[in-house]
Structure 1
Amino acid sequence: MKSLHLNMYKKINYIAAVLVLFTGITAQAQVTSQSPYSEYGLGNVKPMVLPQLRAMGGISSGVFKPNGYNNINMLNPSTYSGINMATVDIGMSGTFTQLKQGSLAEKSFNASLNHIALAFPIKSGKSGISFGLMPYTQVGYEYTKTGKVDTSNSTSIYSGEGGLSKAYLGFGQQIGDHFRIGANVEYIFGNLVKSSSIELERAAAKYSREQDKNSIGGVNFSYGAQYEIPLGTKKRITFGYSGSASSSINSKRTYLASQYIRNGEDEGSFIDTLSSIEGKQTKLKLPLTHSFGFTIQRDNKWLFGADYRMGGWKKLAIDGVNQGLQDSWGVSAGGQYTPDISSIGSYFKRVDYRLGFMYDKTYIQRSGQDIKQQAITFGFGLPLAPSRYSVYKLNFTTEIGQRGTLTNGLVKENYINFHIGFTLNDTWFVKNKLY
């Protein structure tokens, strides 16, 4: 009876922790990044992958089960069919960024809660469900440009903040011995706020400011499939596809153009509203995306895979206005090696060692230059002390990469991303027998 009470308390604690983190991550949608390239489109798009997949370059389409324990691969919901224990994954991330433009340089650091995901098997077997919350895009930038208006020096200030989050609920089903399908229903929500102002360096000068805010909330769909070919008793190759629909989701636009007086360093008083739009109901047209990939692996030993992805961002429109983006594409490759998953004498033989690479031609083009992003990734899956019915793992991942170029006066962004995730596999809904 005592063990039953302990198990119940343990489950209550897990659920409470999940709820607290869920609230925290919702608040995290307001945390901004520091990237001038987040000004365009919806901001910097965050891949919907957990740290254990990020460490392998972000491969996901063909990844099923790198080891015997469960991982949640929400980018390909067909993998939920392999969930055989209650699974929870929670994590956070931090980013060191260095921006360079000509001889100028600036450094910054941001950290936030990153994700929460849960998955459960369905009693009938060969099927499972998953739900969770993750960031989708992040906006955070501020920069100035100087010039002249008439005979006065002028300073234009541009800034943006906010981002979008994605809550999802998905189902996966295995059909036969080797084929799996699945789908997610996703609710995308958040605020994108962009503003600009022009200031003149003269006494009692007028200056103007524009602020454009889109409050977004709507439903999208993603889907995936995998086909597995056995290569023996312990080896297999898995081919996968995943994608997302081109949905139109709701957006409420608020726009304000106003004029102020500036007296020295003080903002002074409001003069006039030049133009305003209050709560205009609009639509945001999301892009159609596709990802194809494969993995080849020896169960509980090693895995290698690669993905190719593409997105139709050229058609992205907000309030019927095309955002001037281009279609994107990218590749990822990576793998994992576990020396001896059942080793008793050496802890480090049970560790998962991961390495990967990713390259993307993003949806941004400036001054005739495609803005490209590339990174080397690596990480570790550190097993924690298991119990009879539970498996615990800490996943650490580091991404070292860059975005942009110094050509034509553009900004080069060097970054180091750190991700940490805690993965739990537990038999929450299995009754213990008393003898």
Structure 2
Amino acid sequence: MYQRLKYTFAVCLLLTSIIANAQVTTQSPYSRFGVGNIKGGSLPQYRAMGGISTGVFRTNYFNNINVQNPASYAGTTITTLDMGLTGSFTELKNSSQTENSFNATLSHIAFAFPLSRKSGLSFGILPYSELGYNFKNTVKIGTTTANTKTVDYEYLGEGGLTKAYLGYGVQFGDHFRIGANAEYLFGNLTENRSTEYVQEPGAINSRLQSKNSVGGIAFTYGAQYDFNLGNKTSLVLGYSGSSSSKINSKKTQVATQYFNDSNGDEQTAIDTLLFVENSPTNLKLPLIHNFGFSIVKENKWLIGADYRMGKWSELSIDKVNQGLQDTYGVSVGGQYTPDVTAINGYFKRVDYRLGFSYDKTYIQLNKQDVKQMGITFGLGLPLSSYARGSLYRMNLSAELGKRGNTNNGLLQEKYLNIHLGFALNTNSWFQRFRFD
């Protein structure tokens, strides 16, 4: 048993290292704002239902890890492991151009096990935000035709933040649960801004390079209460939130001047105007609230909804407010399983999931709020059990949505996100078997 445990933890540590050091691959000009595109903490089985999770306790007999509301850990009845990957097809479009891209990466690893009949512990690692963009804005400056010059303002960003968490949930009585996560956020946010004079070999160009290395503790918390409606049906009410935390970071800035040759190729920097290395600062995260409910027919169906709101107008980086807007959003979704006990007919034991989400994001451009909406769907596919006391499941989900529009010179982003997760329920890891 101890050898299995050591092997399991070794695999977890290896995958954790891969996820933490993987190059973030996203192409979204909207990730330029704040700390990048916020990824959320939902695993594929919840994303397939529009992202509902706040009021979700158990979907059926199979244990799932609900990182979004740590109160749900109290319902962990068996050791659970969940890991997966994600891929994204993106189309960026303005009034005159269209660009397509595809990116894929490991997405998460999460682990949970019961501590007692009414308490559970969970830990894992998953992305918090992704930063990835590369675009330029070409303008003409000058007062007369003779002195008019063409200037390219180029913007480049990459990196993101990763979240490692440790959480605990406990149940009081038969209906009430609370829980909390301690989260360590870490990663690098790297951004470059360049000013280049087009077809002007003798002109002095400039670039400001900024790197923010983040590493600090934040907290999330949650509560759930369920009501027995009879006939194996229950109503679950939930709340979860995150505190307004200050995360330590170190900022490095370099400002340089350089020439481009007659072919437009960049030459060695001729001067360094600014160099600040590892200046201590902080990142102030906003206060976030989530409210949700679900109605569950045991081992048959689930429907629910979430409402969320965030004070992103309070986000500051290096003690500078980022000029973002407060957010709100709603998700609705559900799951249906025809017959979990079916012996013949594999598809009767499959979980079928569907959902919808809508958000007013924290971005406002040209006095227009950038909004995001999408439909989601997915499957929970039971796999054969090869070991005593173990159950395996593959969760597949897809998100089809869009963000923004092309009005008033803005940008529309359409996306198809595919999430794939592999979940294991087992009671054999922590048991000692005896033979006569």
Q: TM-score range by the shorter chain?
A: over 0.9
| Change over 3 Å in CA distance of 1:206–1:149 after alignment to 2 | farther
Displacement of 1:104 in angstroms is 0.3
Q: Which moved more, 1:377-386 or 1:424-433?
A: 424-433
Structure 1 residue 179 corresponds to structure 2 residue 176: yes
Aligned-residue sequence identity (percent) comes to 56
Conserved 8 A contact 2:201-2:259: no
Matches within 5 A, 1:157-176: 157-176=154-173
Structure 1 residue 50 corresponds to structure 2 residue 49: no
CA distance in 2 between partners of 1:388 and 1:36 (Å): 49
Conserved 8 A contact 1:205-1:263: no
Instruction: Give CA-to-partner distance per residue, 1:128-153, whole Å, 9 cap, x none.
Output: 10000000000000111112344322
Structure 1 residue 152 corresponds to structure 2 residue 121: no
CA distance in 2 between partners of 1:36 and 1:354 (Å): 31
Q: What is the aligned partner in structure 2 of residue 22 from structure 1?
A: 16
Q: Which of 190, 205, 214 in structure 2 is aligned with 1:216?
A: 214
Displacement of 1:71 in angstroms is 0.5
Q: What is the aligned partner in structure 1 of residue 432 from structure 2?
A: 431
CA distance in 2 between partners of 1:248 and 1:268 (Å): 40
Structure 1 residue 136 corresponds to structure 2 residue 131: no
The one-letter code of the counterpart of 2:224 is: Q
Conserved 8 A contact 1:32-1:163: no
Conserved 8 A contact 2:25-2:104: no
Q: What is the aligned partner in structure 2 of residue 339 from structure 1?
A: 338
Structure 1 residue 107 corresponds to structure 2 residue 100: yes
Q: Which moved more, 1:40-49 or 1:424-433?
A: 424-433
Conserved 8 A contact 1:99-1:411: yes
Structure 1 residue 195 corresponds to structure 2 residue 192: yes
Matches within 5 A, 1:18-417: 18-28=12-22, 30-122=23-115, 124-150=116-142, 151-200=148-197, 201-264=199-262, 265-386=264-385, 387-417=387-417
Instruction: Give CA-to-partner distance per residue, 1:137-182, whole Å, 9 cap, x none.
Output: 0000011111234432211111101000100000000000000000
Instruction: Give CA-to-partner distance per residue, 1:405-425, whole Å, 9 cap, x none.
Output: 111101000000000000001
Instruction: Give CA-to-partner distance per residue, 1:348-374, whole Å, 9 cap, x none.
Output: 000000000000000000111101111
Displacement of 1:12 in angstroms is 5.5
Report the count of equivalent residues.
427
The one-letter code of the counterpart of 1:26 is: A
Displacement of 1:9 in angstroms is 6.8
Q: Which moved more, 1:11-20 or 1:110-119?
A: 11-20
Q: What is the aligned partner in structure 2 of residue 3 from structure 1?
A: none
Q: Which moved more, 1:275-284 or 1:106-115?
A: 275-284
Q: Which moved more, 1:8-17 or 1:366-375?
A: 8-17
CA distance in 2 between partners of 1:149 and 1:256 (Å): 26
Q: Which moved more, 1:332-341 or 1:141-150?
A: 141-150
SS in 2 for 1:383: strand
Displacement of 1:263 in angstroms is 1.0
Instruction: Give CA-to-partner distance per residue, 1:229-252, whole Å, 9 cap, x none.
Output: 011251100000000000111111
Q: What is the aligned partner in structure 1 of residue 145 from structure 2?
A: none
Flag structure 2 segments of 5+ consecutive residues without an equivalent.
Answer: 143-147
CA distance in 1 between partners of 2:289 and 2:97 (Å): 38
CA distance in 2 between partners of 1:218 and 1:433 (Å): 45
Displacement of 1:306 in angstroms is 0.2
Conserved 8 A contact 2:287-2:310: yes
CA distance in 2 between partners of 1:295 and 1:194 (Å): 41
The one-letter code of the counterpart of 2:189 is: L
Displacement of 1:17 in angstroms is 3.1
CA distance in 2 between partners of 1:293 and 1:280 (Å): 41
Displacement of 1:300 in angstroms is 0.5
Conserved 8 A contact 2:80-2:112: yes
